[in-house]
Structure 1
Amino acid sequence: MVDKYRIGICIAAVTFLLFFTTPIVHDFRIGHFAYFLIFIQIIFFNDIIFYNSYKFLKKLFIIISVFAIVFWVLNAMGVPLIYYKCTPAFRTESVLDNYRIYGPVLSLYRGNMPIGGGIERICGVFAEPGHFGIYIGLMLAIEKFNFYEKRNLLLLITGFLTFSTAFYGIFCLGVLYKLLKYKRITTDIIRIVAVLFFTAITLLFFSDRFVETIYGRVVENKREEVSGVVDLLDNRVPDSHITKFESFIHSHDALVGLGYDNDEMVGTNWRGVVYRFGIIGTVIMLLLIFSIARKGSMKYGFLLAAIALLIVAHRAYLMFSPAIYMMLLTAVYVNRTKESFIIKIEGLDK
Structure 2
Amino acid sequence: MWYDKFIVGTFDILGYICLCITILGATVLILATDKVKLWILAFFTSCTQFIVAIGLFGWILYLLKVPMPHYTDFSDAYYIHTIYYLFNMNGLPDLQLVPRFAGPFLEPGHLGTMCVFLLYLNRFALKKMGNIVLLVGVLFSLSLAAYGLLLGSIVIYLYQQRKFLWISLILGIFLSFGFGAMIYNGGDNALNTAIVMRLEVNDDGEIAGNNRTSMAFDSAYARFLKSNQIWTGVGSAAFGTHENGTDNITLGCASYKRYFFLRGIIGSMLIVIFLLFYCLYYRSSWSFGFFIVYLVANLIRDYPTMEMWMYLYLMAIPCLSLMQKQQIKKIE
Instruction: Report what 1:243 is aligned to.
Output: 219
- How far apart, CA to CA, are the structure 1 residues paired with 2:159 and 2:315? 23
- How far apart, CA to CA, are the structure 1 residues paired with 2:133 and 2:169? 16
Distance 1:127-1:331 versus aligned 2 partners, 3 A rule: same
- 1:143 equivalent in alignment to 2:122: yes
- 1:319 equivalent in alignment to 2:332: no
8 Å Cα contact 1:147-1:192 kept in structure 2: no
- 1:100 equivalent in alignment to 2:83: yes
Instruction: Report what 1:76 is aligned to.
Output: 63
- How far apart, CA to CA, are the structure 1 residues paired with 2:75 and 2:152? 35
Give the unaligned 5+ runs of structure 1: 1-16
Distance 1:232-1:304 versus aligned 2 partners, 3 A rule: farther
- 1:224 equivalent in alignment to 2:208: no
Tell me the amino acid that sits aligned with residue 95 of structure 2. Answer: M
8 Å Cα contact 1:100-1:109 kept in structure 2: no
> Matched residue pairs, number?
316
Instruction: Report what 1:306 is aligned to.
Output: 292
Residues 116-155 of structure 1: CA deviation (Å, up to 9, x unaligned): x31x211111111111111111111212334344432331
Tell me the amino acid that sits aligned with residue 37 of structure 1. Answer: L
Residues 168-224 of structure 1: CA deviation (Å, up to 9, x unaligned): 12212212213422333466986898799789979x6894344323355x589xx83
TM-score by length of 2: 0.79
8 Å Cα contact 2:287-2:320 kept in structure 1: no
Instruction: Report what 1:330 is aligned to.
Output: 315
Where do residues 116-195 of structure 1 align in structure 2 (5 Å cutoff)? Answer: 117-118=97-98, 120-185=99-164
- How far apart, CA to CA, are the structure 2 residues paired with 1:238 and 1:314? 14
Instruction: Report what 2:230 is aligned to.
Output: 254
TM-score by length of 1: 0.76
- 1:37 equivalent in alignment to 2:24: yes
8 Å Cα contact 1:148-1:188 kept in structure 2: no
Instruction: Report what 1:50 is aligned to.
Output: 37
- How far apart, CA to CA, are the structure 2 residues paired with 1:306 and 1:346? 26
- How far apart, CA to CA, are the structure 2 residues paired with 1:298 and 1:130? 28
Tell me the amino acid that sits aligned with residue 99 of structure 1. Answer: T
Tell me the amino acid that sits aligned with residue 49 of structure 2. Answer: I
- How far apart, CA to CA, are the structure 2 residues paired with 1:167 and 1:122? 12
Instruction: Report what 2:245 is aligned to.
Output: none
Distance 1:111-1:225 versus aligned 2 partners, 3 A rule: farther
Shift in Å at residue 18 of structure 1?
2.4
Distance 1:188-1:74 versus aligned 2 partners, 3 A rule: farther
Residues 100-122 of structure 1: CA deviation (Å, up to 9, x unaligned): 32x332322246323xx31x211
Sequence identity of aligned pairs in percent? 15
Distance 1:337-1:80 versus aligned 2 partners, 3 A rule: same
8 Å Cα contact 1:258-1:276 kept in structure 2: yes
Residues 77-118 of structure 1: CA deviation (Å, up to 9, x unaligned): 3x222122131422x225xx22232x332322246323xx31
Shift in Å at residue 329 of structure 1?
2.2
Partner SS for 1:121:
coil
Q: RMSD across aligned C-alpha pairs, in angstroms? A: 3.6
8 Å Cα contact 2:72-2:92 kept in structure 1: no
Shift in Å at residue 283 of structure 1?
0.6
Distance 1:196-1:156 versus aligned 2 partners, 3 A rule: farther
Give the unaligned 5+ runs of structure 2: 239-247
- How far apart, CA to CA, are the structure 2 residues paired with 1:196 and 1:67? 31
Shift in Å at residue 46 of structure 1?
0.8
More deviation, 260-269/34-43: 260-269
- How far apart, CA to CA, are the structure 2 residues paired with 1:236 and 1:339? 35
- 1:109 equivalent in alignment to 2:95: no
Q: Specify which of 246, 255, 278 is matched with residue 292 of structure 1.
A: 278
